[in-house]
A and B are shown apart, each in its own frame.
Chain A
Amino acid sequence: MAITREAVRHIALLARLPLSAEEEVAFTEQLDHILAHFQRLDNLDTSAVEPTAHIAPMATPFRDDVVVNQPDPDAWLANSPARDGRFFKVPKIIE
């Protein structure tokens, strides 16, 4: 199953990873090579096999819906690239 340069461009958009023309060519070749190895999975008949989503023997644990930590905006925003009081500042979303 060959992966095309168009497909790579589409994935790059989905992943918010813009690629230069050189990167597009390089990634297309590398991904194609890697995906060719993955094709061997088609040799296996898994029609009656349950997928493993989670390996540990447990169901989701629940707790009471009670707030347990104190708000600390200074700590939580300390790494923010742009801050305004309690808010992260980002470029305009709606023009």
Chain B
Amino acid sequence: MSELTDLTIAEAQRRLRARELTSLELTRAVLARLEATDAALHAFITRTPERALEQAQAADARLAAGDAPALCGIPLAIKDIILTKGVRTTAGSNILANFIAPYDATVTRKLRDAGAVFVGKANCDEFAMGSSNENSAYGPARNPWQRDRVPGGSSGGSAVAVAARQALGALGTDTGGSIRQPASLTGIVGLKPTYGRVSRYGVIAYASSLDQVGPMARTVEDCALLLEAIAGHDPLDSTSVPRPVPAYAAQLGAGIKGLRIGLPKEYFVEGMAADVVNGVRDAVRQLEALGAVVEDVSLPHTEYAIAAYYLIATAEASSNLARYDGTRYGLRADRNHGLLDMYQQTRSQGFGPEVKRRIMLGTYALSAGYYDAFYLKAQQVRTLIRRDFEQVFARCQAIVTPTTPTTAFRIGEKVTDPLEMYLSDIFTISVNLAGLPGLALPCGFDRGGLPIGLQIIGRPFDELTVLQTGYAYEQATPWHDRQPPE
């Protein structure tokens, strides 16, 4: 396939600006690759080639006129939980199978205004609930490294699109790890920004106190470029924070001499794959060789994070998903007997089993007699988890951990035990509860050739330190140059 699809966003930017390359050429190459590979990989629910070509032509006009923002002409994939005006947006669910977004999400609008090209809507777990992309109503996406394995989730399609060179970058969302985990299972870079850094307007809500949109790309620099384009205060999202957006990409090369990094002992546990442990410990040695000072730290409430998350997130989801009732948009069950029956038949037919399970859990957690024991308790534990991080960040500037306990598992391997799937979120989930920025990037491969991911966690709104640390590590290692087999 064409080597144009191997370009990073940064390299493509240079060539587009030097007029060595047009967005039309680049977009055509990407679309051709998408067409050739997606029957097997299923990274996309909806492809938008005609619109992409129109966007590419418009981008070329701006590039020729010299009035081109950073992402002008760059082909991207957008997770199908993010609204894209005029284009079907399903959230990976049957209940929105024919839903045409009436407006752009703010992140979509920002990228569109910057001249980016959208090649399609990326596959995802239904309503972002899942860690494998197996909960999509449109079929699983497949890991391009080994196609009988999951790419991770819920932003599985976004991860595959980037890893398989079907787009130069992608947007995902992360509520409990849904950017970082698939990034690590597919050997790419993914960032969950600090809660409030990026607008959630137009992002179909799963858990409103946890959801964040973030970039997924092949390099740290590319993620920095995407983050700059989407971050910032939005009056349409009252949870977005009015803080200026730093020029992340320009400051990546600062180096990490003297950086104080914490290694939490609770993140090296029984049941982890030995190759993952070794890969992360090797990465820590590399960081020390680059001048960082690594110390052992403790995040003592880690073992309670899954329980707290799956109470808070499901409670919020039960409220957020109440709107899907057949009234105003989405599926409406035909042949129903009155209003209540319409609600019930619609939801029964439209939601998959994992979504139903989480709505039930959340409804229970909020119900009379259980609210204090479940939901309120979980919110109190959330405070304890946040304090754990605050205490470590009083001494350290970053925390390094594995992203996942294992490398990519086989499709179908974990579907029978929902709790087992939930427990695999253990390393990513506290970061959402504490609202912190977290970066996942490749740190090696296991004996079977599957990618291993490193996670770098930072202080609130300190994406810069997180990106600088990731960049320093990335530039000293060969992982980002490796590609999945054809």
Contacts and interface: CB of A to CB of B under 8 A. Distances in A.
Contacts of B384: 44, 46, 49
Contact of B307 (A38, A50, A90): A38
A54 interface: yes
Contacts of A37: 306-307, 419, 422
B348 interface: yes
A82 B318 CA distance: 25
A85 B340 CA distance: 24
A80 B332 CA distance: 9
B127 interface: no
A33 to B, nearest CB: 6
Interface in A56-80: 56-58, 60-61, 63, 75-76, 78-80
Judged by DSSP, the binding face of B is helix
Nearest to B306: A37
B354 to A, nearest CB: 10
A8 B209 CA distance: 26
Nearest to A18: B344
Nearest to A93: B339
Contacts of A30: 357, 418-419
A16 interface: yes
Given A41-B304, A50-B380, A91-B339, A8 B360 contact: yes
Contact of B364 (A3, A18, A53, A54): A3
A15 B339 contact: no
A7 B433 CA distance: 28
Interface-central residue, A33, A49, A63, by most chain B CB under 10 Å: A49
Interface stretch (B67-75, B271-279, B289-297, B323-331): B323-331
A52 B195 CA distance: 14
B13 interface: no
Interface in A1-44: 3, 7-8, 11-12, 14-19, 23, 27, 30-31, 33-35, 37-38, 40-42, 44
Interface stretch (B30-38, B55-63, B140-148, B235-243): B235-243
Contact of B310 (A23, A34, A52, A58): A34
B196 A56 contact: yes
A16 B328 contact: no
A52 B328 CA distance: 33
A-B CB proximity, top 10 nearest:
A51-B379, A55-B435, A81-B332, A79-B329, A46-B380, A56-B196, A52-B382, A49-B380, A38-B307, A16-B343
Interface of B: 98-100, 102, 195-196, 209, 235, 238-239, 241, 301, 303-304, 306-308, 310-311, 318, 322, 325-332, 336-345, 347-348, 351, 356-357, 359-361, 363-364, 367, 374, 376-384, 386, 418-419, 422, 433-435, 460
